[in-house]
Amino acid sequence: MDPVRNPYAPGAGQRPPELAGRDRELARFDVVLERVARGRPERSLVLTGLRGVGKTVLLNQLRSQAIGRLWGTGKIEARPDQSIRRPVAAALHMALREIAGRHRDPERVDQVLGVLKAFALREPETAGRGTRARTGPRWQPGIDVPAAMGRADTGDLEIDLVELFADAASVATDLSVGIALFIDEMQDVPAPDVSALCAACHELSQTGAPLIVVGAGLPHLPSVLSASKSYSERLFHYLRIDRLERDAADRALIAPAEREDVNFAPDALDALYAVSGGYPYFVQAYGKVTWDAAPDSPITAEDVKVAAPNADAELAVGFFGSRYERATPAERDYMRAMAALGDGPVATAEVAESLGRKPSSLSPARDSLLKKGLVYSAERGLVEFTVPHFGQFLRTQHT
């Protein structure tokens, strides 16, 4: 069928033509927004899940929901070894600009922008490498008011965040709305910054200030947060984002096609669910190639069969291959040993045994795989791929 009209959208953070199976999360967030704006005690949301399940897309949707309620919003994508100070400053700047025009006292807004500028210009003290090493002209946050003094500029991220968040929230309070700061890839926030962020949220939640941090990250994110602050479980409400149930996966395929007057035969949907396993990225990838291969509507199981190898090949290069490439030879050996032991969590001791090595000698490979986000550990002594179907992919590799 006409590839120009192909509605499917495989790709990182690509907005799907139909956001299927996430009604629970969207409804929950509506309640959070309403309660926070009214100063009611409420835990913020943190989305967790494997690669390609739709965390970024959902986070963007939650952001739209907040904007729809006239909240100020900003978003950052955390990177390992990068302090969140500047990204957070930029995101809050964006959030304040969204609501500033409606505020009746421009001087008050400028005051808070001055605090934001002071916060942004303060060099990180203990932050990760990389930010410090930057040379050249002094970095400018692009805020047109003079930096304030004596607020949010101590250099201690925790203190500074508390002051900045409180001031930013006060602007939102005047408008009976709130501010939402979205953090994608939250597991990559450097440890000292995680601790400062949790502490600031904790402090804020006690005063009822309408500012929330909404995070998304890999499945081990809750353990990263609770290792940093034991009270993080009471701060965040964790929502596990998983593969789509059969009816949601079907809807993700059918709804966009219907808008183009195209239908699926029931056995085509069976075949597509069998290959995608309901993982949103795969739903889009197999949906896309099948559309292109189908001569006309309705799309049949035969079309899926013809098209699937094209999607397999694309996924092997893009989704799986790009990640595999990032691993060193030792890390690849480790992952192949994991894959040979089957899908789901495997014991690190078993991996060592199958490689004929001492567990301790494999720690560097395992640790760097954890750091690269290719595997995660939900429980001590166990490791698991963060990428769905990765084991299956590795087992078909002959390198």
Residues in touch with ligand ATP (CB under 6 A):
9-14, 16, 19-22, 49, 51-57, 252, 280-281, 283-284
Shortest reach from residue 391's CB to ligand ATP, in Å: 17
Shortest reach from residue 189's CB to Mg ion, in Å: 15
Comparing CB distances to Mg ion, the nearer of 56 and 83 is 56
Shortest reach from residue 357's CB to Mg ion, in Å: 33
Rounded distance, CA 327 to CA 321, Å?
10
Comparing CB distances to Mg ion, the nearer of 47 and 299 is 47
Shortest reach from residue 294's CB to ligand ATP, in Å: 19
HSE-up of residue 88 (Cα within 13 Å, Cβ side): 32
> How far is the first Cα of the chain from the last one, in angstroms, to the nearest whole number?
36
> What interhelical angle do 85-100 and 157-174 show, nearest 10?
10
* DSSP 8-class letter at 45: E
* Residue among 285, 279, 272 at smallest CA distance from 385: 279
Comparing CB distances to ligand ATP, the nearer of 271 and 337 is 271
Give the one entry of ligand ATP, Mg ion, none that residue 391 binds, where binding means its C-beta sits below a cut-off of 5 to 8 angstroms depending on kind. none
Distances in Å between the alpha carbon of 347 and those of 139, 379, 381? Answer: 47, 10, 6
Give the one entry of ligand ATP, Mg ion, none that residue 220 binds, where binding means its C-beta sits below a cut-off of 5 to 8 angstroms depending on kind. none
Comparing CB distances to ligand ATP, the nearer of 125 and 258 is 258
Shortest reach from residue 56's CB to Mg ion, in Å: 3
Comparing CB distances to ligand ATP, the nearer of 54 and 72 is 54
Which residues have C-beta within 8 Å of that of residue 192, sequence separation ≥ 6?
A: 126, 127, 157
Give the one entry of ligand ATP, Mg ion, none that residue 57 binds, where binding means its C-beta sits below a cut-off of 5 to 8 angstroms depending on kind. ligand ATP
Burial class (CB in 10 A: 0-12, 13-18, 19+), 82: buried
> What interhelical angle do 280-293 and 246-258 show, nearest 10?
40
The reply to whether 56 sits near Mg ion by the rule CB under 5 A is yes
Rounded distance, CA 56 to CA 255, Å?
21
The reply to whether 187 sits near Mg ion by the rule CB under 5 A is no
* Residue among 76, 238, 83 at smallest CA distance from 158: 83
Measured from each CB, the residue nearest to Mg ion is 56
Shortest reach from residue 236's CB to ligand ATP, in Å: 18
Comparing CB distances to Mg ion, the nearer of 13 and 295 is 13
Site residues (CB under 5 A) for Mg ion?
A: 56
